[in-house]
Structure 1
Amino acid sequence: MDAPAFRHLDIPTLGEWLSSDTTLTLVDIRDPVSFAGGHIPGSRHLDNDSVAALLEEIPRERPLVVVCYHGHSSQQAADWLAGQGFAEVYSLDGGFADWRLRYPERVER
């Protein structure tokens, strides 16, 4: 079995990256209602309808972080995105649920 093409990212590291204005793309694959109810600042909603635009717009060399509810489905999405040529893809361990618990002040609505 091949190793996944993505890496795992923990919540504190993402927090540090966002605080230091590290250039990255942050995508949230939760359903639209959940995304509208709260998301990590700077993230964009990604679904089957918007993935083509992402593939066209985002430089493949820019780090890409995938967020879901709890860090499970983001792994499949991250693996797929890595297969689309993104050089540095991460799945956020713990997902948005863990982010919201650790950083309630850093949730955008």
Structure 2
Amino acid sequence: MSTPSFQHLTIDTLERWLENDSPLTLVDIRDQRSFQAGHIPGSRHLSNDSVPTLFETAPREQPLVVVCYHGHSSQQAASWLAGQGFAEVYSLDGGFTEWEYRLPARVERGSP
């Protein structure tokens, strides 16, 4: 029996998906204060408290992208989410820190 796994996603690929309005679910697992200070447009904050809502609302068949600070803890979260029945789960390499550094104009401030 194989263990469900996630894939790595580059910032360039995510930027292209967002520009093309590709259907995906984008979740940010950083703390609430960091998320409010800046996040990738279209992302939603994911915490232990909001996981049940994600399970109820996110389509399991579309890509799910997990973002953290630097692309490390998102790998654990992505692996866990892949085990929860999401078909395509990705961890953003470089995380939000790299996204903000490379694409400062594509950062949303405040709560969505």
Q: TM-score range by the shorter chain?
A: over 0.9
Could you tell me which residue of structure 1 aligns to residue 86 of structure 2? 86
Does the residue aligned with 1:75 lie in a helix, a strand or coil? helix
Could you tell me which residue of structure 1 aligns to residue 16 of structure 2? 16
Q: What whole-Å deviation, never above 9, does each CA across 1:80-100 have from its counterpart, x for those lacking one?
A: 000000000000000000000
Does the residue aligned with 2:26 lie in a helix, a strand or coil? strand
Which runs of 5 or more structure 2 residues have no equivalent in the other structure?
none
TM-score w.r.t. structure 2 length? 0.94
Q: Given the superposition, is the C-alpha separation of residues 4 and 84 from structure 1 closer, same or farther in structure 2, using an over 3 Å criterion?
A: closer
Which runs of 5 or more structure 1 residues have no equivalent in the other structure?
none
> Which amino acid is the alignment partner of residue 12 of structure 1?
D
Could you tell me which residue of structure 1 aligns to residue 28 of structure 2? 28
Post-superposition shift, 1:41?
A: 0.0
Post-superposition shift, 1:3?
A: 6.8
- Distance (Å, rounded) in 2 between the aligned partners of 1:30 and 1:89: 17
Does residue 59 of the first structure (1) align with residue 59 of the second (2)?
yes
> Which amino acid is the alignment partner of residue 20 of structure 1?
N
- Distance (Å, rounded) in 2 between the aligned partners of 1:58 and 1:18: 17
> Which amino acid is the alignment partner of residue 62 of structure 1?
Q
Runs of 4+ in 1 over 6 A off after TM superposition: none
How big is the alpha-carbon RMSD for the aligned residues of Structure 1 and Structure 2?
1.1
Q: How many residues align?
A: 108
Percent identity of equivalent pairs: 72
